[in-house]
């Protein structure tokens, strides 16, 4: 394999460019880990337009994980009380196709479901859509992106007529006011935050507002921190809108010519006067008025958000309420301005483009739209009406379907729902009921593999070739730079092989990921996410941002990475106008009460990634973040009679966790914080999702993983 390979970091949606080097290179000492084992080295790629050579601890240490705890060969068992035993690929695939045929006969296509991942490359996502939605006739494909940013997807579709974040990272360095809400960008999107922080430090007139119940490292860099009570975002946003209206800090020309629905919206925000809003949110009048004045008096406002907004039963409403502020002030379609959702995973964006959720199809199409289905059916060479018009099961609905016994085959790939789903004890009980579960992963053991009948070894990033799209729509080619370990195969190849064995030879005739990608981009022609100017060959010369229609010159494709959407102020709705929509606050689905008096909020730590399948095996990260801690405000700690290092039991109406306390001013009174990364492989009773509830946003179907009511008791 080659000496230095350019690729993309496989962790978060910032999508930093990496250069990866093999352990041994001519004329240099072998690169080794703490134990003396040779390891691959990763460093920032200075030529990548999104990150310009920067990486955080995760990207910088990813080489350490490539050979740790890898799943090397397929394994199988008849029932969960037996041990998994090594089998051949032939045996594993025969069993899978047997179980799928049996389920199709007994339960029909809706008896099969696949739960995929933002870790997939676009080719993996696309092939899975064709298998499930086109060939089998079920839309039961959903991804862990449902737990991450599906509220943002729904918000964009409803307000603008299409998914697609309109901004780019250059906006970070051209804004007058950055409004960060529900995002601990410093810890979760570190390189985006570094760019913003540097610009903010150099330009003292630029304002940074951070809205978060925690005083995070993001909040520490802000000019104004609004520590609102959890679940009060909509009141705050409507309160800002109220003041913008009162002071005339709006853009009437933009509202008149580019939007619909303003007068109804204005009526609703009238009922959010500052006195009411400050009471609901638990902030001062001066904080609220300052935030509104900075919004209103800035030429260019850039808002950013992530899971703190999306993971809510009001997730879509919150996203649309943020977008409302941009529409009323004309802050969109120009440098330094716009609503910018930050994606969690490295290719959650590519998944959206490839149709990787239960209600969508490739090219930002919808399963409910008959023309969209027809276009996709033609390209997939499946008979008309093969694609069901009914959206499939979303992530949590898959657990409910397992509980009810509706599924015959449940296929999990590149994700770990036995840790990351809400109400984890109920999730694990549902997984135990599954008649046949396939767990396809690069790593072993994982918590989900404990519930699998067949375990399939997948190649990971670096062992297969494909592309990924980051939060600012930059698509990066990720070549295989080393050989697969053991008998591992690429996810897309496994899906295609199963498809061929089920009789869909023609549909899965492609033998390379470049061919798969070519077919996918043909489905983006004329869509907002037009990528017909892309190909593996072209992307191998450097990252390209979409839209990139066929015929776009190299000078633009490779030279311009600050493309914005809606610069002509025409939106993707039928009449070209963006839509206001007003929402009243509903609050948390499970507010605190006398039995469960604290709000538990959850989140990520700077060093760890999701359920630690990778970062939990990297010593440099584990040493820094060895265990989960419960953040408790000093006044609450005094009442509870606990100190830092004491063990407590945290109990919600569903179950409990046991964890050490960290007493800190960084969390507001009445709220406690617990990280999400620890599943049962890493210790007993450390799972935050033992506590969370599964109520979902009725529009995006994203669960409210961010907040639930708990009691805290010293042990």
Contact footprint for ligand SF4 (CB under 6 A): 9, 11-12, 14-16, 51, 55-56, 58-59, 190-191
Can you state the percent helix, strand and coil of the chain, rounding each to 5? 35, 20, 45
d(Cα 683, Cα 673) in Å, to the nearest integer?
A: 19
Residue closer to ligand SF4 by CB (options 114, 191) is 191
Q: Which residues pair with 179 in a beta bridge?
A: 209, 303
Output the smallest distance, CB 52 to ligand SF4, in A.
Answer: 11
Q: Least distance (Å) from ligand SF4 to the CB of residue 192?
A: 7
Sequence-ordered list of residues with C-beta below 8 angstroms from that of 166, at least 6 positions apart, any chain: 160, 332, 333, 338, 339, 340, 564, 565, 566
What's the rounded Cα separation, in Å, for the pair 480 and 594?
Answer: 56
Nearest CA to 139 among 376, 422, 314? Answer: 376
Cβ 349 to ligand SF4, closest distance in Å? 12
Instruction: List strand residue ranges (DSSP E) for 169-298, in order.
Output: 177-181, 207-211, 224-226, 259-260
Nearest residue to 165 via CA among 677, 440, 566:
566
CB of 609 to ligand SF4, least distance (A): 7
Question: Do residues 243 and 328 touch, judged by C-beta distance below 8 A?
Answer: no
- Are 13 and 306 in contact, with CB atoms under 8 Å apart? no
CB of 191 to ligand SF4, least distance (A): 4
Is 636:592 a contact under the CB 8 Å cutoff? no
CA pair distance 261, 248, nearest whole angstrom: 18
Task: Give dist(CA 217, CA 185) in Å, integer.
Answer: 8
Min dist. Cβ of residue 453 to ligand SF4 (A): 33
Minimal CA–CA distance to 497: which of 124, 137, 116? 124
Q: How far is the CB of 16 from ligand SF4 (least distance, A)?
A: 3
Q: ∠ CA(338), CA(343), CA(348), 5° rounding?
A: 125
For residue 495, give the nearest of 127, 113, 114, 109 by alpha carbon: 127
CB closer to ligand SF4, 59 vs 391: 59
- Phi and psi at 320, nearest 5°, equal -70, -30
Joined tokens for residue 570: 């025409």
Region of residue 486 (phi > 0: left; psi between -120 and 50: alpha; otherwise: beta): left
Contact 345, 150 (CB under 8 A): no
Using the 8-state DSSP alphabet, how is residue 338 labeled? E
Select the residue whose beta carbon is closest to ligand SF4 and give its number: 59
């Amino acid at each position: 394999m080659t000496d230095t390979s350019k690729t993309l970091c496989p962790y978060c949606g910032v999508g930093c460019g990496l250069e990866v080097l093999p352990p041994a290179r001519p004329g240099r000492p072998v690169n080794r880990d703490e134990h003396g084992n040779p390891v691959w080295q990763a460093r920032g790629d200075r030529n990548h337009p999104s990150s310009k050579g920067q990486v955080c601890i995760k990207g910088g240490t990813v080489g350490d994980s490539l050979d740790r705890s890898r799943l090397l060969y397929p394994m199988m068992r008849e029932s969960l009380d037996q041990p998994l035993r090594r089998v051949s690929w032939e045996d594993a695939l025969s069993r899978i196709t047997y179980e799928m045929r049996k389920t199709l006969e007994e339960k029909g296509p809706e008896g099969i479901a696949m739960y995929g991942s933002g870790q997939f490359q676009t080719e993996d996502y696309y092939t899975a859509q064709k298998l499930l939605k086109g060939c089998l006739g079920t839309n039961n494909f959903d991804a862990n992106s449902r737990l991450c940013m599906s509220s943002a997807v729904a918000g964009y579709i409803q307000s603008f007529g299409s998914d697609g974040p309109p901004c780019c990272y250059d906006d970070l360095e051209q804004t007058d006011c950055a409004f960060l809400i529900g995002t601990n960008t410093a810890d979760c999107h570190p390189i985006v935050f570094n760019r913003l922080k540097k610009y903010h430090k150099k330009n003292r007139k630029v304002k940074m507002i951070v809205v978060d119940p925690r005083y995070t490292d993001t909040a520490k860099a802000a000019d104004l921190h609004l520590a609102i009570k959890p679940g009060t975002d909509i009141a705050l946003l409507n309160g800002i809108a109220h003041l913008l209206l009162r002071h005339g800090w709006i853009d009437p020309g933009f509202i008149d010519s580019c939007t619909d629905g303003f007068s109804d919206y204005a009526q609703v925000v009238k009922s959010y006067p500052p006195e009411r809003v400050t009471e609901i949110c638990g902030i001062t009048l001066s904080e609220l008025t300052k935030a509104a004045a900075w919004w209103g008096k800035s030429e260019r406002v850039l808002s950013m958000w992530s899971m703190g907004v999306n993971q809510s039963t009001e997730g879509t409403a919150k996203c649309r309420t943020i977008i409302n502020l941009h529409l009323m002030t004309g802050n969109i379609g120009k440098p330094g301005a716009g609503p910018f959702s930050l994606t969690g995973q490295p290719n959650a964006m590519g998944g959206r483009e490839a149709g990787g959720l239960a209600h969508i199809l490739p090219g930002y199409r919808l399963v409910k739209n008959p023309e969209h289905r027809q276009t996709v059916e033609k390209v997939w060479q499946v008979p008309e009406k093969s694609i069901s018009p009914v959206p499939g099961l979303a992530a949590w609905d898959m657990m409910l379907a397992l509980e009810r016994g509706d599924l015959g085959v449940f296929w999990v790939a590149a994700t770990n729902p036995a840790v990351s789903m809400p109400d984890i004890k109920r999730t694990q009980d549902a997984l135990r009921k599954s008649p046949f579960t396939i767990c396809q992963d690069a790593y072993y053991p994982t918590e989900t593999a404990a519930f699998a009948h067949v375990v399939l070894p997948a190649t990971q990033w670096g062992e297969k070739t494909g592309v990924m799209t980051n939060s600012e729509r930059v698509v990066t080619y990720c070549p295989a730079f080393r050989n697969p370990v053991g008998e591992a195969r690429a996810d897309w190849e496994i899906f295609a092989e199963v498809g061929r064995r089920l009789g869909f030879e023609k549909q899965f005739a492609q033998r390379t990921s470049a061919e798969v990608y070519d077919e996918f981009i043909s489905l983006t022609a004329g869509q907002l996410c037009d990528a017909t100017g892309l190909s593996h060959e072209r992307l191998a010369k450097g990252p390209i941002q979409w839209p990139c229609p066929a015929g776009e010159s190299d000078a633009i494709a490779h030279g311009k990475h600050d493309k914005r959407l809606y610069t002509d102020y025409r939106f993707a709705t039928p009449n070209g106008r963006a839509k206001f929509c007003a929402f009243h606050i509903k609050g948390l689905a499970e507010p605190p009460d006398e039995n469960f008096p604290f709000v538990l909020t959850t989140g990520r730590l700077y060093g760890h990634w999701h359920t630690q399948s990778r970062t939990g095996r990297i010593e440099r990260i584990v040493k820094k973040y060895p265990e989960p801690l419960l953040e408790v405000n000093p006044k609450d700690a005094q009442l509870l009679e606990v100190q830092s290092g004491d063990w407590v039991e945290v109990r919600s109406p569903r179950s409990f966790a046991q964890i050490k306390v960290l007493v800190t001013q960084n969390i507001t009174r009445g709220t406690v914080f617990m990280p999400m990364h620890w599943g049962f492989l890493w210790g007993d009773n450390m799972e935050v999702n033992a506590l969370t509830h599964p109520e979902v946003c009725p529009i995006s179907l994203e669960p409210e993983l961010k907040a639930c009511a708990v009691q805290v008791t010293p042990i």
